[in-house]
Structure 1
Amino acid sequence: MGTLLFVGIGAALGSVSRYDITKFIGARIIPNFPLATLTINLVGAFCLGIIVRYLLHDSAWYLFLGTGFCGGFTTFSTMINEIIEFSLAKNIHVALVYLSFSLLGGILLFFGGFFI
């Protein structure tokens, strides 16, 4: 029961944080580009790197922050949906740039957080 509670509370906090940041960033900075999703996923990757490095040994904190918060905060499905929308609108270049920044940036920032 404790495991489900740690993951559930963390995921709820992560999801609400993602929602608030998405509403705050929205399309204010770069119109027609999902900057909010990209920012959230990159920040989440960086945070997960830190969490894996320092909290993997502590199962309660790892479940709460890693599995719960970061799992609820980041959003792979939204990223894929946005890439498909760009592709269907014949914006293949934007879709590929977004995919590249998401994947390569996420990997680099994870390692950045891990080795901080």
Structure 2
Amino acid sequence: MQKYLLIAIGGALGSIARYGVASWVANRFGIRFPYGTLAVNISACIIIGFTMSLLGRHTDIPPAWRFLIPVGFIGAYSTFSTYEWETLVELREGAFGIAALYAIGSFAAGLGATWGGSVLGDLFG
């Protein structure tokens, strides 16, 4: 039960942080280019890279932190960072083909799914 509570707390904080960071950046740099989302995605990549590497090397850090930060906070803050982390893991393991397939496939399928969802939204909207 504790892990679900930690995920929920991290998720709430991540959602608030996402809104705050994206809004602040958009207000500062404008909305012609999605600077806010870009800032969230890149900062999430830094956070997940740091957190997962740190937690992987320090077994003295309680496992509960994995639920609070990478799963809860970063999961709500940005899933782009998880996509990048999983691609990096494949690259580090020498699975270049899997990494390329995952990276390109995720991008293409995600863009296609977004387009398809948009078409459905237009049809039913």
Q: TM-score, normalised by structure 2?
A: 0.56
After the TM superposition, which residues 10-29 of structure 1 pair with which residues of structure 2 at under 5 Å, given as runs? 10-26=10-26, 28-29=28-29
Contact 1:11 1:72 in 2 (8 A): yes
Aligned residue number for residue 87 of structure 2: none
Unaligned runs of 5+ in 1: 86-116
Which amino acid in 2 is paired with 1:69? F
State percent identity of aligned pairs: 31
Aligned residue number for residue 66 of structure 2: 62
Aligned residue number for residue 74 of structure 1: 78
Give the whole-Å Cα distance in 2 for the aligned partners of 1:11 and 1:55.
Answer: 19
Contact 1:27 1:33 in 2 (8 A): no
* Structure with the greater alpha carbon radius of gyration: 2
Contact 1:27 1:35 in 2 (8 A): no
Aligned length: 81
Q: Where has structure 1 moved over 4 Å in runs of 4 or more? A: none
Contact 2:25 2:35 in 1 (8 A): yes
* Cα root mean square deviation, aligned: 2.4
Q: TM-score, normalised by structure 1?
A: 0.60
After the TM superposition, which residues 36-55 of structure 1 pair with which residues of structure 2 at under 5 Å, given as runs? 36-55=36-55
Give the whole-Å Cα distance in 1 for the aligned partners of 2:43 and 2:51.
Answer: 12
